[in-house]
Structure 1
Amino acid sequence: MRVAVVVGGSSGIGQAAAVELGRRGVGVIVTYSGNPAGAEDTVAAVEKEGSTAVAFRLDVGRTEEFPEFRERVAGALQEKWQRDTFDYLVNSAGFGGMAMFEDVTEELFDRFHRVLLKGPYFLTQTLLPLLADGGAIVNVSSNSALPTGEADPGYTAYAAMKGGLNVWTRVLAKELAGRGIRVNAVSPGPTRTRLADADGVVGFDAYPEVIPMLAAKTALGRLGEPDDIGVAVAALLGDDGRWITAQNIEVSGGFGL
């Protein structure tokens, strides 16, 4: 059985990706930070699909936790799947939010950096010895960092980190190609998730009035759902994406066309 590590798998896009992977027969290790109940739901949903899963707590913004997490992953691989390696890594942990440029504090900038760029970078480095040759990585980015994306005010810090993630994705794909490891990114548009923003407010539930406006700006006429992104992540990781690497796939329903 192939095995995936889904970072940030307790809700939203990470949860959808984990469940879709389970549907495709992949075992899943999911991480959570402040939502253990959501992680339990993810494990139950993966198992309902006929696969196997475990959940571990991890704060992707705290690099000092990474070595211990690697040991827990190694232990789970041996105990649950009788393996020394895993096949797929999904870096989907994060938080959203906006602040106008003149209001961005160093504290907020550093938090964006720790969670959205530094964390995935060094967590991937830490887990790399356990990632099997011929495996695959998908980083969850944002269409706000694409050249074709809308440059909305208030996203200078957030989009800067996602832009860094995009560049890292491309260069890492070159470095890991010798091991047959593919590295790609997906860039969702507005998506209905419970991802907390910088002030702790939960997703679009707190701002229902913006949903019709966003749907009107999307070519396919609705807000994205986590499943829309999850299926794209799973396709890139699996055999369907075997000849795709160093790419950033926009998965937005045509937002801003």
Structure 2
Amino acid sequence: MSTLMGKTALVTGSSRGIGRATAVRLARDGALVAVHYTANKDAAEETVSAIRGGGGRAFAVRAELGVPGDVDELFAGLEAGLVEHTGATALDILVNNAGVMGGGSAQETTPELFDRLFAVNVKAPFFLIQRAMANLSEGGRIVNISSGLSRIASPGVVTYALTKGAVEHLAPHFAKLLAPRGITVNTVAPGVTRNDSPVFDNADAVAEMARMSAFDRVGEPEDVADVVAFLASPQGRWVTGAFLDATGGSLLG
């Protein structure tokens, strides 16, 4: 496929999980992908190698999100990589995937942890979009990754759910702002999706989680990456400000 040939993309938190699958998919569709990571350089380089091994183009960029100077650090690395590979700093696709879970119950959440989750999961995506506006091409794409937990009662992860609910408000407001430039902004909300957590090695736990989905299985990172790829493609041009349920029917009740 070459629907994104000549396009450039930044996928935050793309050394593993949904972010990695998204980076691989966008590269397979022809985009040059900046693989962002925070600490696991080896995992990011492995993602880059996998993309290049499949005939795609990618480079790694490091920045810790949720700390002072995070956006400047990320874009310094991003722009350097874009110039090296394309001779320009134009960005066509931004996928705000990076985030941290945790927070615990309402009784257990501390002010410090509350602030940390909002700094990484909400503040960073907001200011990444703000900064990317100068680089985004006409007809660009922004996709923010939320969570099905924003739509169901989960007292055990209330702070995390709050951050994802806040992230969902970025799409309609920025969609309205950027529509004159043909830039779409949307939200994708995964459900239980297989990752490197040890819980997915427990067959009983996986079976329990699978029952949340209408399809009686847990999601795979590629299930979500394919939805993101649609929104990033020319076929997604008429969808903006939207919330896309990619939970496998977990919100049907």
Alignment of 1:123-202 (within 5 A): 123-146=128-151, 150-194=152-196, 202=197
Matched residue, 1:198: none
Label 1:63 to 1:207 Cα distance change in 2 as closer, same or farther (>3 A).
farther
Between the aligned residues of both structures, percent identity stands at 38
Instruction: Name whichever of 225-234 and 94-103 sits farther off.
Output: 94-103
| Most deviating of 128-137 and 8-17 | 128-137
Deviation, structure 1 residue 256:
4.4
Which residue matches 1:93? 98
Query: 218, 222, 235: which one pairs with 1:223?
Result: 218
For 1:158 and 1:37, locate their aligned partners in 2 and report how far apart those are by CA, in whole Å.
27
Alpha-carbon distance in 2 for matches of 1:31, 1:107 = 25
Whole-angstrom CA distance in 2 between matches of 1:173 and 1:80: 29
CA shift, 1:71, in A, is 2.4
What amino acid sits opposite 1:39 in the alignment? Answer: A
Number of residue pairs aligned between Structure 1 and Structure 2: 247
CA contact (8 A) 2:71 2:124 kept: no
With the length of structure 1 as denominator, give the TM-score of the two structures.
0.91
C-alpha distance after superposition, 1:50-108 (max 9, x if no partner): 12100011111124132232222222212112233010000000122351111110011
Inter-partner Cα distance in structure 2 for 1:98 and 1:204: 18
Alignment of 1:214-253 (within 5 A): 214-253=209-248
RMSD: 1.5
CA distance in 1, matches of 2:163, 2:134: 25
Structure 1 gaps, min length 5: 195-201
> Is the alpha carbon distance of 1:125 and 1:208 closer, same or farther for their aligned partners in structure 2, counting shifts above 3 Å?
farther
In structure 2, how many angstroms separate the alpha carbons of the residues matched to 1:64 and 1:207? 40
Match of 1:154, SS state, is helix
1:103 to 1:191, Cα distance in 2 relative to 1, 3 A: same
Q: Which runs of 5+ in 2 are unaligned?
A: 1-5
**Partner in structure 1 of residue 66 of structure 2:** 61
- Supply the AA of the counterpart residue of 2:88: R
- Residue 172 of structure 2 aligns with an amino acid whose one-letter code is R
**Does structure 2 retain, via aligned residues, the 8 Å contact 1:58–1:69?**
yes
The normalised TM-score by structure 2 is 0.93
Equivalents in 2 of 1:208, 1:121: separation in Å?
38
Secondary structure of 2:89 counterpart: coil
Name 2:12's counterpart in structure 1: 7
* Inter-partner Cα distance in structure 1 for 2:73 and 2:220: 33
SS across alignment from 1:190: coil
Task: Say whether the 8 Å CA contact 1:25–1:50 is kept in structure 2.
Answer: no
